[in-house]
Amino acid sequence: MTPREIAYALNKEGIPPPRGTNWTSSTINGNKKRHHGIILNELYAGVVVWNRVRMMKDPDTGRRISRANPPEEWKRAEAPRLSIVAKGMFDAAQRRKADCSREAPERQRKAKFLLSGLLKCGCCDGGLSMKDRDHGRIRIHCSTMREAGTCENRKVFYMDEIEKAALSGLEQHLKAPHLLKEFARAYQEERERLSGEKLRRRGQIESQLGQLQRAIDRLWADYESERVPVDIAGPRLKDMQAHKVALQAELALQPEVEKTVGLHPAALRHYKEQVTCLRSVFGEGVTPNTQEAADSIRSLVAQVTVHPRQDGFSIELRGPLAMLMGGPRTSIRICVSPRRGERW
């Protein structure tokens, strides 16, 4: 059986996956680069592997993300007591997987589309991936439906129609005067929110430092008046002093609170200039001449959710509008129904 057939069978039988809600072929196949997945997991053969990834902080979102370490930096330790698969069977599975693995042609060509990696199914929130080509036109469908069989969305979409609808929605909304006004308002609110958060945290630290200093002064006074012996006062004073130093260090790392100001007219001019540049790709798709503009569009769009309809589809775009000027991550939400001509 193929990994996809195995995943279908496990989902149909209601067997719980290692994590998440559904089995997919990738749960079984895993990731060659990170050695994730059932087949590649050396723990089943009694070998513990660690240091495969390192954690980093995304400077844009502040979230921790993982990055794969090169295989030569991985650490291994034999743990026969954890083995549930014979070593010979595990090695045979690795040889079989290596024989069946090949680089996909589309990855060899490194083909890029305007919305690659951004498309989501409106029924299950899974990804949309390429199905085939129809007279040169790329068709896409729900990956969860294909890999796990748990999504009911079996509709097939043409990529160029979705791109056209997305570009049309962006063009109409980015040049709308009311959106520019809304952007300025949202920008101001975000600046005020960030400023308020900084102010609150500084106030919390300063309050804690004041309380701690008063406690230190009281304990020292008790020690001087011989109400507290040195064997009790000494360790407590040492702990409180260490806590004080830590709070002072945290306070020093707090950024200065910025003065909240309105959106400068120069920033609005920059916004309009960027929208004008983006128009060069509308209606043309991605070509060598419009690659730069297409990259700008991809920086604006974080997700495109495609909802199937009887008469076609509707799409919902989400993304950080403020990327046009490098400001706070103010979001925009656009809905487009290309078959009915509805936009809101």
pLDDT tens sequence across 65-122: 888 888 888 898 999 999 999 999 999 999 888 887 765 544 444 435 677 778 999 9
CA distance 215 to 212: 5
- Per-position b or e across 211-222, b if 16+ CB within 10 A of its CB: ebeeebeebeee
- Cβ(327)–Cβ(267) below 8 Å: yes
At residue 92, the pLDDT reads 93
Q: Where are the alpha helices (DSSP H) in the chain?
A: 3-13, 25-29, 87-100, 105-109, 143-147, 159-174, 177-224, 230-253, 265-278, 291-300
At residue 342, the pLDDT reads 43
Within the chain, which residues score under 70 in pLDDT?
Answer: 59-60, 102-113, 171-184, 187, 194-199, 254-300, 320-344
SS3 label, residue 68: strand
At residue 156, the pLDDT reads 92
At residue 109, the pLDDT reads 45
At residue 15, the pLDDT reads 92
At residue 121, the pLDDT reads 92
At residue 283, the pLDDT reads 45
Q: What is the pLDDT of residues 6-49, one digit of tens each?
A: 888 899 899 999 888 888 888 888 888 778 889 999 999 999 99
- What's the pTM value of the predicted model, to 2 decimals? 0.46
